[in-house]
A and B are shown apart, each in its own frame.
Chain A
Amino acid sequence: MAESMSVKDLNLYYGDHQALKDITLDMPAGKVTAFIGPSGCGKSTLLRCLNRMNDRIEGCRVEGTVKLGDTDVYENYDVYELRRRVGMVFQKPNPFPLSIYDNVAYGPRHHGKPSKAELDQIVETTLTDVGLWDEVKDKLDHSGLSLSGGQAQRLCIARALAVNPGVLLMDEPTSALDPISTGLVEELAVKVAKEHTVIIVTHNMQQATRISTKCAFFYLGELVEAAPTAQLFSTPKDKRTEDYLTGRFG
């Protein structure tokens, strides 16, 4: 089931460098929320806070609250359970060096103890959901690394969805893909959002307008403005958003 996420008064430091400043933002359940902004403004950093991927980074310090539904994920929260409920897809498709089947079965095997038949079912359903089943059903034992970029990205989305997360984080998931694969991933993001809230970072403005219902603009570690997407792109309230969208920056 799709879950909401929210951050409140979030500050994040890499050593002495403050990368996020007083961020407060709601990301509604069942919708696509997009993060936009110039390179280095902290989009990926914020995305990583949402499933505590920053924990691994030395010298990284987080203040404030991050909630999944009503629970604070930085307080007494099992990080492995969190990563199951909040999945992540990266810019560069990174299939595991395992078979296509095992890439998808990997998560479910580790969460709960499904039978072989149940596992087969999960693999087929999830690959069908991402539109990959027909392309790979005869070569499930081939390596995930043998797929094209677009197929590999959809395999990674399938891998993330196989454990039925409440939220799916996507960091520039189409920036390495051709227009057709990009279109497929966009369709997929919109489709899965109903069951798995999608939060996506993108540098492609048209992509943000096409798929997101809410959009947040970041600049130099600050959340400048968050609004319904059509509103943000037609009538931004802040001059910095206006300048960024019209390409008049600097």
Chain B
Amino acid sequence: MIKTRSAYTKQIKQLDGHVSVIGQAVVEDIENTAKAIGDGNKDAAQETIDGHDSFERLHRNVEDTCMTLMLLQQPMASDLRLVTASFRAISDLARIDEMAYETALLTEEIDLTVPKELADLLVSMADKAATMVRQAVVSFGNGDVADAEKVFEEDDALDALYEQVRVKVIEYLKNGTESATAAPEFLSVAKYFERMGDHAQSVADWSIFRATGSYRGRTMGEND
């Protein structure tokens, strides 16, 4: 429980670090799914699965911190933007992590390392998603709008990869070969990575809000 103003200032400063820690964990979990799919690395998938509960706890704790700060201290100006943007950004990050977790679970049930050409596409998607999340989290910390905007530019490439997976999966299904059985799973994992990109963009939106007070072009108080 925060009481005094000096404790408040400390907690505000720590919040920045919390968001960055959560972001780092999410990036690692996405990278683990790439290892599981690309190299059949079971340990990597297991690491993400084992870490899931503690990630959830971390997320809830930081969420609590944001709510407590709002309730007890009514933050204003840059503090208000930090607390509200953190609250929203960590919720996007938690959604991304949930999808990485689901993917890791899936790699335990189904072999996603073959067909190789599909596995390779998924690894590219995971790499892209991880890069976008990393960039969004960095921009959240450094307040650099140009850094945040790079995240939006990356998203087209991720969408294009998803389209490639989709076309390939349809081919496999049409041909009805042995390897077609797992094809639908490839498509759902590809969809996860594609949505991770959308959430990374949302984090980038909150980075910009935190830095400028403007969310998707709308500034508070502008239309009053």
Contact = CB atoms under 8 A, between A and B. Distances in A.
A241 B221 contact: no
Contact of B5 (A227, A234, A236, A247): A247
Contact of A227 (B75, B78, B221): B221
A234 B81 contact: yes
Contacts of B219: 231, 235
Interface in A178-230: 205-206, 213, 227-230
Interface string B61-87: 000000000000011111111000000
Interface in B190-224: 212-214, 219-222, 224
A246 interface: yes
Contacts of B179: none
Nearest to A231: B221
Given A235-B212, A235-B213, A246 B78 contact: yes
B224 A233 contact: no
A72 interface: no
Nearest to B80: A234
B142 interface: no
Contacts of B76: 205, 233-234, 245-246
B38 to A, nearest CB: 44
B77 A241 contact: yes
Contact of A246 (B75, B213, B221): B75
Contacts, number: 52
Contact of A228 (B8, B79, B222): B222
User: Which of A213, A232, A234 has the most B CB atoms < 10 Å from its CB?
Assistant: A234
Contacts of A241: 77
A248 interface: yes
A110 B77 CA distance: 47
B78 A205 contact: no
B181 interface: no
Given A234-B213, A235-B212, A245 B220 contact: no
B9 A235 contact: no
Given A235-B212, A247-B5, A229 B221 contact: yes
A242 interface: yes
Contact of A234 (B8, B9, B74, B77): B77
A235 B219 CA distance: 9
Nearest to B79: A246
B9 to A, nearest CB: 7
A242 B222 contact: no
A242 B76 CA distance: 8
B74 A206 contact: yes
A19 B76 CA distance: 27
A235 B224 contact: no
Given A231-B213, A235-B219, A246 B224 contact: no
B224 A228 contact: yes
Given A247-B5, A248-B9, A233 B77 contact: yes
A163 B212 CA distance: 45
Interface string B6-24: 0011000000000000000
Contacts of B78: 242, 246
A236 B221 CA distance: 11
B80 A230 contact: no
Interface in A73-105: none
Contacts of A234: 76-77, 80-81, 213, 220-221
Contact of B77 (A213, A228, A245): A245
Nearest to A247: B5
A231 B168 CA distance: 50
Contact of B224 (A230, A236, A245, A247): A230
13 contacts: A213-B224, A228-B221, A231-B222, A234-B80, A234-B220, A234-B221, A235-B77, A235-B214, A235-B220, A236-B77, A242-B77, A245-B77, A248-B9
Given A232-B221, A234-B221, 10 more contacts: A205-B74, A230-B220, A231-B213, A233-B76, A234-B76, A234-B80, A235-B77, A235-B212, A246-B76, A247-B5
Interface of B: 5, 8-9, 74-81, 212-214, 219-222, 224
